[in-house]
Amino acid sequence: MKTNQNLFFAMLLFTGVLASCNSNSTKKTDNADSTETTTVAAVLPDSAAFEGTADNKPVHLYTLKNKSGDEAAITNFGGRLVSLLVKDNKDKLVDVVLGHDSLKPYQRKEEFFFGALIGRYGNRIAKGKFTLDGKTYQLQVNDGQNTLHGGTSGFYKQVWDAKKTDDHTLELSYVSKDGEGGYPGKLTVKVTYALEDDHSLKITYNATTDKATVVNLTNHAYFNLNGAGDQTITDHTLQLEADEYTPVDTTLIPTGKLEKVAGTPFDFTNAKLIGVNINDSNTQLKNGKGYDHNWVLRKGTGLRKAATVSSQKTGIVLEVLTEEPGIQFYSGNFLTDKMNYGKGNATYGYRSAFCLETQHFPDSPNQPSFPSTVLKPGSTYSTISVYRFSVKK
């Protein structure tokens, strides 16, 4: 009898181990590049690891909390969103934003704009040149022959003045000198992050200038709703409120045309998995190495919905609302497995995050048919974008 009992318990132990092995194994699907999960624990980084200086200015990490239990961490170096903790379908906090545990990785030369405030001009300007009021300006070139996200001294590298007005609000200010990065005019900028009780992160942008210039501000947060450190976003469902997009050349500069998304891999008018068409044989997908394009949002006034993303793993749903005419959907095509300095030692690999950058169109200063990005003295640049979260049980 004792022998039979021992045999019985041995079989139970073997069965449990086998079940555990099966539960930890994953199968690669046609719609995902990888299903490996290395999600880091949902805790905010240690603020002490962000104490330092850049350009002789003090750098800190600021934490925001709302009454709903969400948390955010923002550093005034580049105005970067470092962490954003929201609840999943099991009522557990998940960090849905990629970033680093300390200041130093954000200062690396090969850094990918993680969570940064972008300016003066978000996205690309062809050959780093534009003409305004009869004068041609040469900008810093940092993306092949083009200027990307403001150039080598863009706002993502600057130390912003910070003021935490209450537990859920942080005001960031920066004065960009006339000629900085090649842009005309002294630009005075204020960006406010507010973690609202309705599970949304509201970003308000304001700017004024003393000379005619071009402005296009945005945020470059990298999201993974499975959790930062999960190795794919191709299993996310995406819907974009856009019937057209702006095709690009091989350097990712818009051709100037608006093309219908219907019948193309760029059709997200109905929700579909990001991975369904991402590897299709398509010239535009080849140019972007996947999705790295501007969608033309349906016209409307005020704050309106631009995008909806959801995760089947966590049930987390992200809605993006904006006053901007366009949104850049980027599927993390230039992230590599060598980026192994993420939060909690996570690796941020190929297509392990997506960006939804609310914006005016790329290269607008050189595209007269695009909505204007010119700001003149006496006028105020003002726009709001919201990242609102919910849970699908």
Contact 74, 62 (CB under 8 A): yes
Q: Which of 110, 215, 202 is nearest to 155 (CA)?
A: 215
List, in order, residues 6 or more apart from 3 with CB less than 8 Å away. Answer: none
Interatomic CA distance for residues 47 and 72, integer angstroms = 12
Annotated active-site residue 111? The verdict is: no
Report whether the peptide linkage leading into residue 298 is cis, meaning its omega lies within 30 degrees of zero. no
Annotated active-site residue 357? The verdict is: yes
Buried/exposed 60-96: b ≥16 CB within 10 Å, e otherwise = bbbbbebeeebbbbbbbbbbbbbbbbbbbbeeebbbb
Q: Which of 202, 195, 183 is nearest to 125 (CA)?
A: 183
| Cβ-based neighbour number of residue 272 at 10 Å | 15
Distances (CA, A) of 100 to 115, 182, 277, 279, 314: 10, 30, 31, 29, 22
- As given in the structure block, the two tokens for residue 191 are 């960006």
Strand 326-330, strand 272-273: pairing: unpaired
Q: Position of tokens 């050349």?
A: 249
Contact 290, 329 (CB under 8 A): no
Which one is catalytic: 149, 168, 199, 220? 220
Which one is catalytic: 241, 319, 324, 357? 357
Positions annotated as catalytic residues are 220, 357
